[in-house]
Structure 1
């Protein structure tokens, strides 16, 4: 659970290795055709561009000494043409690779989102939302350029080096060897800082994730922050996290900056050595000034790809830190899924059986132990008891949001672990304690669980739960736009809309978890009338702290001590004068 904090760095459970990069190549292969076209354009652009030093050498050694003015203009025009063509080809290639990069982003992000939707509740219990979101948005953006332009540029720069080396050795092999002499020094330097650079960017990834998690938490809880005047304290926490991120970022950039600094200095030294060797060691008969000038130009061109490759190397090291996180998320096991050979659950009548069920959120810490009960089709069951006793756990297990540790749960005699999730949950109406409202219209929110519902059916559901009256009070009625989480609505209004959404699905098994917790007494009485109609012919499980809500249920189960401590109708439990009686009388006294 330590990961579930904004100020705790995440430890990688599967460090990066070459297999991660091979997996990334899957996304690259999907863009093979445009990348090949871009590579061809890059080769043509580079090849044409490399003719410029040869033209310059010929002009200096032949055209100018022989005073061929017409030829000088001709060579100048040809040199200008090579530059223009090279730039045009590079621009076309750039547009192609921009599209490729966005396609790669789309594919990775789509795979992440699809996988996140399949992950069990426990995954989200253990992690701040901000640390999940940053992987889908920021990290994918960070790796896209390396996986698109990075691959092409790497191949291109290698080809550039080969082409330039061929041209250099064709002009003068001795000066070419002088240029190549700096390579071993550069390679040794890279080996020296490689591991420290990678660790540094991993730390940047952690601090960025922490900062994003705190930002998300702070925005979600801004109301509580202002109520308790925590602004100054929260600003201090934010400053600390932002400072940590800044410190690690500067450290990582320091390592990155060392590479071009080294390349620039080596290029300067090598260019100087060309003039030293060409002018002082070799005689004018062995090497002309045009050759020296051409080789100095090739030296600059040779070390430019080295610099570009070092920048690509920097980008790759950065991307590795993010790829590790992305693939760690994609590798997170989907523990709640269809079993091999899972069958479609036929239309159910609603019988629910718990057969010696044991469950715990953490190994060795059971919430329920050896729990058994049987619910008949159409029976309404109320689950009451102290906070944390396991009431919500019971309904979560029926919905298979978690899998049982031991025993089994049956619906109409079918083991739910052997049925497909879609066929199970599609026959359930579930309203959880958190009444989540999506951005969009009120009608869109009610229709969320049944997209083919007509407008009349939506209004009928709203009327049943007594939501129609307050909805029509809005200027735009059912077409009123609401913000994410329904900030324009009261808590009671949000619950009524969520309740209408659940009713619209017309479920055979209905689960209501604190469905009326934020509704005033008058609205609750109206809602109870609609609920009575809804519950007819449906198996229902109702969790409510207000015991007045569940008095009419067929059976009330008091959940305590990892099981069902008492079970019976309201009158039967009152007559027993046990745990339920004490809870009920305590509430009555509080209401007085």
Structure 2
């Protein structure tokens, strides 16, 4: 098997990333081709301008031919107008195409993130994902909108300048190229250093975005414990790291640009020295000397831009690597190729010898078996870490089990589409998430199939209409991120209304009344009695008073089912449930 050095691996990786990036431009190849053709026109016109003036100096100025000078001026004006028109259309095409490609990439990344399993979000900071979808995607814009075409333009310009200069005077051209090896060496050095600095900058940006995302979300906790000063110092250090990385990147440019400029001045001095002597000797015309003076400035400019564009390309490649890291992340939960389509889910749930672990064999559930019949009300109780919430997550197939089988209406949930399975399950969590928008949009969650009337009915069912209609704008009332302007009880009532609006066959409640005051809880209990009628209901609660009327209570302990029965049956057994009940009574 062939062995590769680290550099060779990096080249292969860059090649792979570049090919994937170019694939996004494929649908716009005709526009990109037009942009390249315009670049050829622009380059040709730029090369022609010094020749036009140089020829005019030799043929018209020296002979006093004023008509020839006027004719040259008109042609020069037409060349400038042609350059302007070509530049305008090239810029317009590239910006439009670049923004279209970036839009597609951003949409694809966000869509892919939605498909990823909950485990990915358990272990990946939100700030890192946000950076990928925003900063890193935007870093590609410069590549598509400018860099690719400008790289082509500068390469063509360098080659064109060299060819034209050699065709005019080989001796003068060789003197012009005398510092070219030094320039190539500096360019390669700049490319290597800039690539490293770009990667560091992208990494530091990710770190600071991750930090901001986490600490802005937890600002209330920071203020409660008066840790503002300490957190400020932490942020200051991370901000200083980003500053240092940006400073190093700036210093690389600050050294490279003047170096190339100095070399171009030295080359110009050489041409003036050699060309001036040649003009005096009568071997070179003044017009030719003018052309070479103009070309020297034009020759070094694209070399400098080329190096910088290669650096920017490396920045885009670094961002693309991070984007493709997420894009290559495979969803742990995949839909079957030919899913079983149930006419309607009735709600019979069965666990058959289920073993489950989030990581390796650190088992959360151990050989768990139970059956919940359609329309039955089942409750799970037990100490923290017993596996209750994990069971709820497994019913919706947010995670896959390692051993055993979970069925809904007799069908293994791995054979059902996640859309049908999760569409039949209404979940109410302890920690309610409220989106920025209004009351109505938070109940229907952008589902236009749910009418305003159904939204109102759902709110009335859970007694949420009472507080909603007291708001100044009722269902149109604006709510901020995470529902900060609403009380915990109001947010939970909205969550109930949201679940009811989707009319699920299976109702799942994970500590749904934990954060609600007694008065609000009574309102919800009234609504739940109506809601649970005819639906399979699964509850997790620490307060046993809320689940006493369940048809079946399953007691979990250290990942296993220890007891099962009704409230009264379990009290008659001197077991875990009775101890928990007596403890709460005390």
TM-score range, shorter chain: over 0.9
Please give the alpha-carbon distance, in whole angstroms, between the structure 1 residues aligned to 2:232 and 2:12. Answer: 34
1:80 aligns with 2:60: no
Which residue of the partner structure matches residue 572 of structure 2?
A: 575
| Residues 36-94 of structure 1 deviation map (CA, whole Å, 9 limit, x = unaligned) | 22222222222122221112212222212111223223322322332233123212221
Please give the alpha-carbon distance, in whole angstroms, between the structure 2 residues aligned to 1:433 and 1:417. Answer: 27
1:162 aligns with 2:159: yes
Task: Give the 3-state SS of the residue equivalent to 2:400 in structure 1.
Answer: coil
Equivalent residues, number: 578
Please give the alpha-carbon distance, in whole angstroms, between the structure 2 residues aligned to 1:254 and 1:575. Answer: 78
1:97 aligns with 2:89: no
Which residue of the partner structure matches residue 225 of structure 2?
A: 228
Q: Quote how far apart the aligned CAs of 1:281 are.
A: 6.9
Which residue of the partner structure matches residue 334 of structure 2?
A: 337
Q: Quote how far apart the aligned CAs of 1:13 are.
A: 13
1:45 aligns with 2:42: yes
Change (3 A) 1:257 1:407: farther
Please give the alpha-carbon distance, in whole angstroms, between the structure 1 residues aligned to 2:219 and 2:352. Answer: 44
Please give the alpha-carbon distance, in whole angstroms, between the structure 2 residues aligned to 1:322 and 1:85. Answer: 37
Q: Quote how far apart the aligned CAs of 1:391 are.
A: 0.9
Residues 42 and 156, structure 1, Cα contact 8 Å, conserved in 2: yes
Within the candidate set 86, 109, 118, 2:106 is matched to 109
Within the candidate set 550, 557, 560, 1:560 is matched to 557
Any unmatched runs of 5+ in structure 1? 1-11
Please give the alpha-carbon distance, in whole angstroms, between the structure 2 residues aligned to 1:29 and 1:23. Answer: 10
Change (3 A) 1:425 1:87: same
Q: Quote how far apart the aligned CAs of 1:141 are.
A: 0.7
Which residue of the partner structure matches residue 443 of structure 1?
A: 440
Which residue of the partner structure matches residue 315 of structure 1?
A: 312
Please give the alpha-carbon distance, in whole angstroms, between the structure 2 residues aligned to 1:78 and 1:282. Answer: 27
Please give the alpha-carbon distance, in whole angstroms, between the structure 1 residues aligned to 2:188 and 2:287. Answer: 37
Please give the alpha-carbon distance, in whole angstroms, between the structure 1 residues aligned to 2:397 and 2:177. Answer: 65
Task: Give the 3-state SS of the residue equivalent to 2:426 in structure 1.
Answer: strand
Change (3 A) 1:450 1:534: farther
Residues 349 and 409, structure 2, Cα contact 8 Å, conserved in 1: yes
| Residues 198-232 of structure 1 deviation map (CA, whole Å, 9 limit, x = unaligned) | 23222211111110111111221122222222211
Residues 14 and 324, structure 1, Cα contact 8 Å, conserved in 2: no
Which residue of the partner structure matches residue 531 of structure 2?
A: 534
| Range with greater deviation from structure 2 (306-315 or 171-180) | 171-180
Alignment of 1:120-159 (within 5 A): 120-159=117-156
| Residues 434-478 of structure 1 deviation map (CA, whole Å, 9 limit, x = unaligned) | 211112221111112753122222211111111110111101111
Within the candidate set 479, 485, 488, 2:485 is matched to 488
Within the candidate set 4, 22, 31, 2:19 is matched to 22
Q: Quote how far apart the aligned CAs of 1:265 are.
A: 2.5
| Range with greater deviation from structure 2 (231-240 or 427-436) | 427-436
Within the candidate set 538, 546, 550, 1:549 is matched to 546
| Residues 531-587 of structure 1 deviation map (CA, whole Å, 9 limit, x = unaligned) | 111111111111122221111111111221111122111111222232222222222
Q: TM-score, normalised by structure 2?
A: 0.95
Within the candidate set 398, 406, 412, 1:415 is matched to 412
Alignment of 1:96-495 (within 5 A): 96-280=93-277, 284-448=281-445, 450-495=447-492
Please give the alpha-carbon distance, in whole angstroms, between the structure 2 residues aligned to 1:92 and 1:449. Answer: 40
Residues 190 and 256, structure 2, Cα contact 8 Å, conserved in 1: no
Q: Quote how far apart the aligned CAs of 1:386 are.
A: 1.4
Task: Give the 3-state SS of the residue equivalent to 2:561 in structure 1.
Answer: strand
| Range with greater deviation from structure 2 (238-247 or 520-529) | 520-529
Q: TM-score, normalised by structure 1?
A: 0.94
Task: Give the 3-state SS of the residue equivalent to 1:145 in structure 2.
Answer: helix
Please give the alpha-carbon distance, in whole angstroms, between the structure 2 residues aligned to 1:183 and 1:582. Answer: 87
Q: Quote how far apart the aligned CAs of 1:114 are.
A: 0.4
Please give the alpha-carbon distance, in whole angstroms, between the structure 2 residues aligned to 1:479 and 1:566. Answer: 47
Change (3 A) 1:147 1:450: closer
Alignment of 1:492-507 (within 5 A): 492-507=489-504
Task: Give the 3-state SS of the residue equivalent to 1:354 in structure 2.
Answer: strand
Change (3 A) 1:14 1:528: farther
CA RMSD of aligned residues (A): 2.0
| Residues 89-134 of structure 1 deviation map (CA, whole Å, 9 limit, x = unaligned) | 2122212211112111101100100000000011111111111101
Change (3 A) 1:167 1:449: closer
Please give the alpha-carbon distance, in whole angstroms, between the structure 1 residues aligned to 2:540 and 2:67. Answer: 95
Task: Give the 3-state SS of the residue equivalent to 2:273 in structure 1.
Answer: helix
Task: Give the 3-state SS of the residue equivalent to 2:69 in structure 1.
Answer: helix
Please give the alpha-carbon distance, in whole angstroms, between the structure 2 residues aligned to 1:402 and 1:532. Answer: 30
| Residues 297-325 of structure 1 deviation map (CA, whole Å, 9 limit, x = unaligned) | 11111121112211211101111211110
| Range with greater deviation from structure 2 (87-96 or 238-247) | 87-96
Please give the alpha-carbon distance, in whole angstroms, between the structure 2 residues aligned to 1:499 and 1:449. Answer: 16
Please give the alpha-carbon distance, in whole angstroms, between the structure 2 residues aligned to 1:14 and 1:55. Answer: 43
Residues 408 and 415, structure 1, Cα contact 8 Å, conserved in 2: yes
Which residue of the partner structure matches residue 9 of structure 1?
A: none
Please give the alpha-carbon distance, in whole angstroms, between the structure 1 residues aligned to 2:505 and 2:370. Answer: 19
Which residue of the partner structure matches residue 4 of structure 2?
A: none
Q: Quote how far apart the aligned CAs of 1:277 are.
A: 2.7
Residues 436 and 485, structure 1, Cα contact 8 Å, conserved in 2: yes
Q: Quote how far apart the aligned CAs of 1:14 are.
A: 13
Q: Quote how far apart the aligned CAs of 1:280 are.
A: 4.1
1:510 aligns with 2:507: yes
Any unmatched runs of 5+ in structure 2? 1-8
Please give the alpha-carbon distance, in whole angstroms, between the structure 2 residues aligned to 1:540 and 1:499. Answer: 13
Change (3 A) 1:586 1:13: farther
Please give the alpha-carbon distance, in whole angstroms, between the structure 1 residues aligned to 2:269 and 2:454. Answer: 83
